[in-house]
Amino acid sequence: MKIAVTGAGGYIGAHIVDEALSRGHEVLAIDVSLKNISDKAIKKNIDIFATHENIFEALGKPDVLIHLAWRDGFIHNSEQHMKNLSSHIEFIRDFVKAGGKNIAVMGSMHEVGYHEGAVDEDTPTNPESQYGIAKNAMRESLMLASKELAFNLYWLRAYYIFGDDAYGSSIFSKLTRAANNGETSFPFTTGKNLYDFIHVKDLAKMIVAASTQDKVTGVINVATGKARSLADQVEWFIKEHNWPIKLAYGAFPDRPYDSPGIWADATKINEIMENYD
């Protein structure tokens, strides 16, 4: 298939490009900076929010569009989320009207807000950050648009991502930088919250698998479906790297809006991955 990936130069994008190429797909990598992208991909420096006569044609008429592009994704209360929301929706609608049929969009557990337990496609959402509100509104708008304009929508809801940690903004990235700086103590919360952790390469595999099939659409959790405490995951991460870092538990308070335990119902993605592997 021919796959276009917006935001290809971002934290997840390069891994998706590599996974799609490894599966024999033709990949069009789209971003303002593509320095970390494989030369096996076709690279396009395109402003997706600019006016295009035919955005579907400008992106190479792909069979699938994987839309990752999102400004300030790690800054959850940035003003950019709501400012850019309508531009993201307009971009997808214009792409479909010009001929696009299969659209995969990166979602987030932050759409859900405070919730205890497993999350499936019918779980009510009540986001508590500007990022979550914008993603939730985009999902709701595109779900309606998929019926109106008759295209396949894959809303790929991700959870707690780690891996390639020198480039991210997660606690694992902060730990990596602390270790590189020779620090031996790391301020931490209680670490009791339960999350669904996934390595970015495994996430990329799920995203490509979900985006290149047509039997399962709508909201798809791209996650393991397993809950693990933040403390256990971070302690494991430190041990894996053999770092002399000790966690200073309780140095930071637990955030009141963080769920005590939130993880994915992985029924859909497990079905998809059975046919992918």
SS3 119: strand
Burial code (b: 16+ CB inside 10 Å, e: under 16) for 144-181 equals ebbeebebbbbbbbbbbbbbbbeebeebbbebbebbee
Query: CA–CA separation, 265 vs 121, rounded Å?
Result: 9
Q: Which residue has the tokens 């989320």?
A: 81
Task: Please name which of 50, 245, 109 lies closest in space to residue 30, comparing C-alpha atoms.
Answer: 50
Catalytic choice (131, 154, 159, 160) = 131
Residue 276 falls in the annotated catalytic set: no
Q: What residues are annotated to the active site?
A: 131
